[in-house]
Amino acid sequence: MKVPGPDHPITIEPEPRRVRVVVAGVAVAESRNALRLQEAQYPPVFYVPRSDIRADRFVASSRTTHCPYKGDAHYFDLVVDGTRRPDAVWSYGDPYPAVAAIRDHVAFYPDRVDAITLED
């Protein structure tokens, strides 16, 4: 386990705007309680609470990955009306203490969904 620091900063803040994720014309997630995670030089990632997703559109995948700063991630395919987006979503079920706020949240690859919008 690595701890974020000056050489690899990670910040997590509440996202004040509504985050909406769309696949095949269907909102698979919509939240005013999302978190914005900024890690080092990477683009920000929006983590949506599981309570604000359409769980019936999420199918567990066999893919897993490990991040030395966040822990083990598990993936989901998104399935909407015959459209399947493999491994489009990930979640850290037991994140490391430095990023514990993302527990019970999911994040989306922007290039595997049709849109991630931020609305006031």
Q: What is the pLDDT of residues 67-120, one digit of tens each?
A: 999 999 999 999 999 999 999 999 999 999 999 999 999 999 999 999 999 999
Tens of pLDDT along 32-61? 999 999 999 999 999 999 999 999 999 999
- Count of structural domains, the chain: 1
What is the pTM (predicted TM-score) of this model? 0.96
First-to-final CA distance of the chain: 37
Q: Which pLDDT does position 27 carry in this prediction?
A: 98
Domain boundaries, position 30? 10-119
Domain membership flag for residue 1: no
| Residues 50 and 106: beta-carbon distance below 8 Å | yes
Strand locations in the chain (E): 10-14, 18-23, 26-31, 35-39, 45-49, 58-67, 71-80, 83-92, 105-108, 115-119
Q: Is residue 91 part of a domain?
A: yes
